[in-house]
Amino acid sequence: MPAAKKTSPKKVAPKKKKQPGKLIWRLLLVGLLIIGLSPFYYGYVLKTFSYTWQWFRDLRGNPRYRTYKSFNISIPSQYNLHGIDVSYAQGRINWPKVKAMQEDSIHINFAFIKATEGLFKVDPYFKRNWREAPKAGIVCGAYHFLRANRSGFWQARFFLQNADIEAGDLPPVADVETLDGVSPDVMRQNVKAFLTQVEAKTKTRPIIYTTLSFYATYLAGYFNDYPLWLAHYNQADLHVGQLSWLFWQHSDKANVNGINHVVDFNAFKGDSLSFRQILVQ
C-alpha cells in the first residue's frame, strides 16, 4: 500500500486591517457633498463672492461712491442728507426702525410719501405713513402721481383734499412720468395747471419728479422755474450740465430696516441749512 501523501495545511490570508484614514476621508467627502448641495451653502458662497467683488470694485472706483452693506446698494456719499420715497408697494412700514438704521454717517433724514394718483386714487397707506413717519423724526413730503390725460386743475384739488400740507413739510411733488396717450402739449398743460393750483393753495412752489430721460424729451425748457427731483440710477454722480436739481433718486433697490420690500433711495443736493430753507413755511 503506497504511503499517503503529506498535505500541507492551507495558508489562510491574513485579514486586512481597516485603515481609519480612508474612512475619515470618505466621511469628509460625503459631508462636503451634502454641504455643497445645500442651498444655504450656495447662498452663502454667492453672497460672500458678491460682497468681495463689490469691495474690489469700490477699491478701484470712486471713493465717494461705495457699497453700504446694510442698505445693499452703492451710495454717493458726497451728499449729507439721504431719504426714501414710499407708496403702498412697501406695505406696512415700521418708521422707528427706518429712523434708527445707520451705517457710518448714512441714515434716513426724509421721506416722500405717495398720497394720490389721477382723479380718484388715494394710496391706501398714505394716511398711516403721513402720520407715523413724522412721529419717528423723519421730515416728509407728499407726492401726487399725475395722469397726463386728466385735468391738472382737478387733480390738484383732489391731491390737496387728501394731503394736508403744513409748515415744516417738504414741498408737494408732481410725479410726471407718462404721456397716458395724449400729446406732449396736452401733458404739459395739465402739469402746469396742477403746479399752479397747488402753489396758489399752499404758497409753496411744488417740486417736479421725473426721470432724466422723460425730462430731456418732454419737459426741458418748459418748467425752468420749478425745482426738480430726478431719477437716474446706479451712477456715482448726477451729471446734467447746467440743469438745476434738488433731489436725486439714485437707486430703486435699497434695503431699509422696517420695510419688507426694496425701496427707492434719494440724496439731497445741499446741506442741512439749505434743506431747512426749502421746507414749507
Instruction: Kindly report the CATH number assigned to the domain that includes residue 118.
Output: 3.20.20.80
Query: What does the pLDDT read at residue 65?
Result: 87
Region 118-125: mean pLDDT is 98
Q: Is residue 115 domain-resident?
A: yes
Per-residue pLDDT band at 19 (split at 50, 70, 90): low
Per-chain mean pLDDT for the chain: 87
Question: Rounded to a whole number, what is the largest CA-CA distance in the chain?
Answer: 139
Nearest to 223 by CA among 181, 153, 178, 176: 176
Region 100-104: mean pLDDT is 96
Per-residue pLDDT band at 241 (split at 50, 70, 90): confident
Residue 8 has pLDDT above 60, yes or no: no
Please give the grid coordinates belonging to residue 101: 438704521
Claim to verify: residue 114 and residue 51 sit in the same structural domain: no
For residue 92, the enclosing domain spans 73-278
Q: Give the C-alpha separation, 166 to 170, whole Å.
A: 9
Nearest to 256 by CA among 103, 145, 138, 124: 103
Kindly provide the b/e burial profile for residues 243-281, where b requires at least 16 CB atoms within 10 angstroms of the residue's own CB: eebbbbbbbeebbbebbeebbbbbbbbeeeeebeebeee
Q: What is the pTM assigned to this prediction?
A: 0.79
Please give the grid coordinates belonging to residue 98: 427706518
Claim to verify: residue 41 and residue 136 sit in the same structural domain: no
Q: Give the C-alpha separation, 232 to 263, whole Å.
A: 14
Please give the grid coordinates belonging to residue 14: 491574513
32 or 200: which leads in pLDDT: 200
Per-residue pLDDT band at 206 (split at 50, 70, 90): very high
Q: How many other CB atoms are there within 10 angstroms of residue 157's CB atom? A: 15
Claim to verify: residue 49 and residue 93 sit in the same structural domain: no
Claim to verify: residue 161 and residue 34 sit in the same structural domain: no
Cα→Cα distances 266→8, 109, 137, Å: 95, 10, 17
Query: What does the pLDDT read at residue 1?
Result: 44
Query: What does the pLDDT read at residue 2?
Result: 47
Active-site residues, by number, are 85, 177
Claim to verify: residue 121 and residue 43 sit in the same structural domain: no
The total number of structural domains that make up the chain: 2
Of 28-32, 94-98, 253-257, where does mean pLDDT reach its minimum?
A: 28-32
User: At residue 123, what are phi and psi to the nearest 5 degrees?
Assistant: -60, 125
For 192-242, the three-class secondary structure string (H helix, E strand, C coil) is: HHHHHHHHHHHCCCCEEEEEHHHHHHHHCCCCCCCCEEEECCCCCCCCCCC
Q: Considering 8, 37, 60, which residue would you say is the last residue of a domain?
A: 60
Nearest to 183 by CA among 174, 191, 175: 191
User: At residue 69, what are phi and psi to the nearest 5 degrees?
Assistant: -60, -45
Claim to verify: residue 83 and residue 212 sit in the same structural domain: yes
Q: Considering 13, 29, 60, which residue would you say is the last residue of a domain?
A: 60
Claim to verify: residue 231 and residue 269 sit in the same structural domain: yes
